[in-house]
Structure 1
């Protein structure tokens, strides 16, 4: 009996009371769970299909919700019932959409079609200007060093375009299917948005009812912080993008750059991707400007530099502030990784997704810090 008791005490001393051993056991259990779930992955296929079906409408509705909820709150604060405030907001959105469809969209469409038609010609002209103004030996050495040839790149692009046209009919079914999915997702947004604007404040309380009583306080804190991170980023980034697009449009009109509206819209859309967006947006503007004239290129660079200085020194610090507290290098790596994993949606959602994940990991680490006793707790 004493031997059994002493063996139990040794087991407790060297296994249960040994934090490192317990940590290894936890890792082993996690690995076993991953292996088991990997073996029975087919069970989760319906769940994966459900998530893929509702993910796009939820994301679109969430973005619109964070942009419109402050206006509904403001109307409600001025003694207008929330339901009437939402209806007023919907009428305002319908009026804006009708105005865009009748006035702005046709102009954008004409400029886009003209730019698409002329872009191959612009590429050939840029190649000709390089051949004329750059020493052929220097250009050849540069191409050999970088292991590329502009003419080959243009030829490859032309071949790819021809292949795409040849395979267009084969892929038209998939394109129509994807387009139908996007249209249905957009069509469901107003219905989800109405109920989310009306009952969104009750959602955290409803979710907390499914959690144990001990976890409700910390869970509410996590959800509140996550909501603050997402709302600050979405609202701030959209406002910054509109400011950049507006300033560039005014600047392009002043210098007389062709396709000013389309180029400004491209810059505004790509500005939602921090740091990498401006580098992508400046490329078509550079090509259009350099084909026009060297003076236009200098003017365009001057406009772009001034807008970036205004955005970096005045607009972003005032609107975005330091709400995310994420280092720029971290943001770039997160965007590149998310882009490789999830494509264009990964690039757009990389930063807010990382912010949400950071909140969850930080709270989990604080909980582990308190429970493990391995760290000196801050007073």
Structure 2
């Protein structure tokens, strides 16, 4: 009798003893599912390694991505720009297809008006600036050298046998040689690269022609896309996936619409300010500021460089006026325009923005600089929702309520 009780007690203790997959930590990570997940990741790594050795198989896919990425991005931008106006027309009981047609007519008329009235003037100013910019640059360099020669810094450089005048002459000679070599290389490469150049221009033109069609289908059936995506997921996951899609759509919409409006305001204010102080090429420099302001922080600094060079050549007082105009515009944009238009839609720290722009630019060049921030915003949405799911799962396996991340709301 006693032996039976001992055996029952040992059996009970063995049953209560936790296995590796039944420990709280492993159950929190997924239990046996974790093991299968690691196996799948290992197999995925092997597959990637194998396909890396036969990467030529992916060449058609790479060509496809290169073909569709430009019209796709431009189509999405046009979609987010026109969607608010289309929603307003639909709210006024205008059929969706007719509303899209009206918007296209308005956009086409606006582009035609710009091409007829503004573009010729910008073209003339750009041609003149390209011709005169080397003169402006060398005049600015000579002004800086003259200032340094009359400053105390000159005494220090004389002790190390450094001459500004010799440096400037050498720089001029190197610049002339570089320009000649560049023109020679361009001339020699025109014949051999004419086919590639024509192919590239043709691809860009075809991409621009495809953009209105992509935007049309996005505007016409874009509201159905999230519902189609949700049907792919199991029913119990659709609510969470729907929240992720909604937040991603909100982030991209706020960024595209807000950044373009902010850039337009900066361009207008810069043009008005340059005109008031009498700076040459005011409209062209304002247009450059508008285009480059699409990239936060770095864009305005890039746009101010040619304006500063022209101002230095004009007079030192003009440079002071330029600094005043640039400061006023940045203050108005930072304190009034951006908070009202964009608010805190991205909620990204300025230091983070700079690091994202530098990293994306190093990896993907100019497209990376332009698309780095919206890409970061999408990744941030995914990580935020994944972390929320992590906290909820932690609470499910946490018996001590004091250690909860937050109270669960059922």
The TM-score normalised by the length of structure 2 is 0.82
The correspondence for 2:294, drawn from 272, 284, 289, is 272
Matched residue, 1:37: 48
Q: CA deviation at 1:365?
A: 2.1
Higher Rg: 2
Q: Which moved more, 1:239-248 or 1:179-188?
A: 179-188
Distance 1:189 1:155 in 2: 46
The correspondence for 2:62, drawn from 42, 48, 55, is 48
8 Å contact from structure 1 (residues 15, 21) kept in 2: no
For structure 1, the residue ranges without an aligned partner over 5 or more in a row are none
Q: CA deviation at 1:293?
A: 1.2
Equivalences for residues 219-230 of structure 1 within 5 A: 219-230=241-252
Q: CA deviation at 1:364?
A: 1.7
Matched residue, 1:162: 180
Q: CA deviation at 1:174?
A: 3.4
Q: Does 1:191 align with 2:213?
A: yes
Cα RMSD of the aligned pairs, angstroms, is 3.0
Q: Which moved more, 1:329-338 or 1:79-88?
A: 79-88
Q: CA deviation at 1:180?
A: 2.0
Mark the CA change 1:270 to 1:44 in structure 2 (over 3 Å): closer, same or farther: same
Mark the CA change 1:328 to 1:187 in structure 2 (over 3 Å): closer, same or farther: same
CA shift digits 1:38-75 (9 cap, x unpaired): 32143443333322221111100111111111111112
Matched residue, 2:6: none
Distance 1:141 1:73 in 2: 67
Matched residue, 1:119: 133
Distance 1:142 1:14 in 2: 72
Matched residue, 1:357: 379
Equivalences for residues 71-220 of structure 1 within 5 A: 71-135=85-149, 138=153, 155-168=173-186, 169=190, 170-220=192-242
Distance 2:168 2:294 in 1: 30
8 Å contact from structure 2 (residues 28, 393) kept in 1: no
How many equivalent residue pairs?
373
Mark the CA change 1:222 to 1:152 in structure 2 (over 3 Å): closer, same or farther: farther
Distance 1:46 1:249 in 2: 46
Q: Secondary structure at the match of 2:365?
A: helix
Distance 1:298 1:82 in 2: 52
For structure 2, the residue ranges without an aligned partner over 5 or more in a row are 1-9
